[in-house]
Amino acid sequence: MSGLLPGDPAAGIGGEATPRALCVLAPNPSPMTLDGTNTWLLSEPGSDLAVVIDPGPLHEGHLRRVIETAEQQGKRVALTLLTHGHADHSEGAARFAELTGSEVRALDPAHRLGSEGLTDGQRLDVGGLDLRVIGTPGHTSDSLTFHLPADGAILTGDTVLGRGTTMVAHPDGRLGDYLDSLRHLHGMAAEHGVRTVLPGHGPVLADALGAVDYYLAHRAGRLAQVETAVEAGCRTAAEVVARVYADVDRALWPAAELSVLAQLQYLRDHGLIPD
């Protein structure tokens, strides 16, 4: 496979993805954010309450469009959640909370607005919508995945993207944590009926198990390449990037360098390369 994810290439970005989840695409495309940030609007059929996951960047038009989309369906935003604190997901949250009067809940207290946070294993019920909180650190230390059991779906933020692969944001993100998180999601797809990935960027993936398998294989492959590069004499992260990520868009090299630093840390921690 040459960097193509398994999944449904026809699945679009924006609009209804599952019976309970609808995507409003933010207008912030870039090499890092792909088509832009996916803001997710979730609601139980028949309920007049909605949950928004990742309001996205501070873009007034986008935030208002999310609210209008909810209103067109006869729903009011009752709660805002963040998958993690990166600005392309969280920057608009304070303004969105102002516009909707909803609380913002996140793992990292610095990104909360209101009295309540989120913790791994927590269950949320908003107008009958059953949502489970899963700690999936690695991309960042505060990364969460939200499980929507009724639709067999997971909202993965930047932990699993709809296209390509993600970065481990060293030093906050750690590769060992990330691999554990991927294995956890693998178990959910293999044993707990999770089929659909609703990612933070890129299209919906219809084969969650295939996507997570691809991510695990990709990370193992990159790690082996980094180890080989060090053995071949690469001394700095930039040297490793130039060798291992030669096939990757140079706009992504700064992110790749953080991922390489995370991989070097992992290899040292496991005694696979010298300190």
**In terms of CB distance, is 62 or 86 closer to Zn ion?**
86
> Considering the complex, what minimum distance in angstroms separates the CB of residue 114 from Zn ion?
22
> Considering the complex, what minimum distance in angstroms separates the CB of residue 33 from Zn ion?
9
What is the DSSP secondary-structure string of 39-87? EEEE--TT-SEEEEE---SS-HHHHHHHHHHHHHTT-EEEEEE-S---H
**In terms of CB distance, is 54 or 151 closer to Zn ion?**
54
Please choose, from the candidates 31, 49, 51, 30, the residue with its C-alpha nearest in 3D space to the C-alpha of residue 39. Answer: 51
Using the contact rule CB under 5 A, the part of the chain among 6-14, 18-26, 151-159, 205-213 near Zn ion is 151-159
> Considering the complex, what minimum distance in angstroms separates the CB of residue 139 from Zn ion?
6
Which residues contact residue 136 at a Cβ distance below 8 angstroms, ignoring those fewer than 6 apart? 143, 144, 145, 156, 157, 159, 181, 184, 185
By CB under 5 A, the residues from 227 to 256 that bind Zn ion are none
Please choose, from the candidates 3, 2, 7, 37, the residue with its C-alpha nearest in 3D space to the C-alpha of residue 23. Answer: 37
Element (H, E) at 240: helix 237-244
Which residues contact residue 81 at a Cβ distance below 8 angstroms, ignoring those fewer than 6 apart? 51, 52, 53, 54, 104, 105, 106, 118, 144, 146
**In terms of CB distance, is 158 or 227 closer to Zn ion?**
158
> Considering the complex, what minimum distance in angstroms separates the CB of residue 84 from Zn ion?
6
Does residue 86 belong to the site contacting Zn ion (CB under 5 A)? yes
> Considering the complex, what minimum distance in angstroms separates the CB of residue 17 from Zn ion?
20
**In terms of CB distance, is 229 or 256 closer to Zn ion?**
256
Using the contact rule CB under 5 A, the part of the chain among 2-10, 33-41, 154-162, 267-275 near Zn ion is 154-162
Using the contact rule CB under 5 A, the part of the chain among 71-79, 128-136, 153-161, 210-218 near Zn ion is 153-161
Q: What are phi and psi of 39, to 5 degrees?
A: -95, 125
> Considering the complex, what minimum distance in angstroms separates the CB of residue 65 from Zn ion?
22
Interacting residues toward Zn ion by CB under 5 A: 86, 158
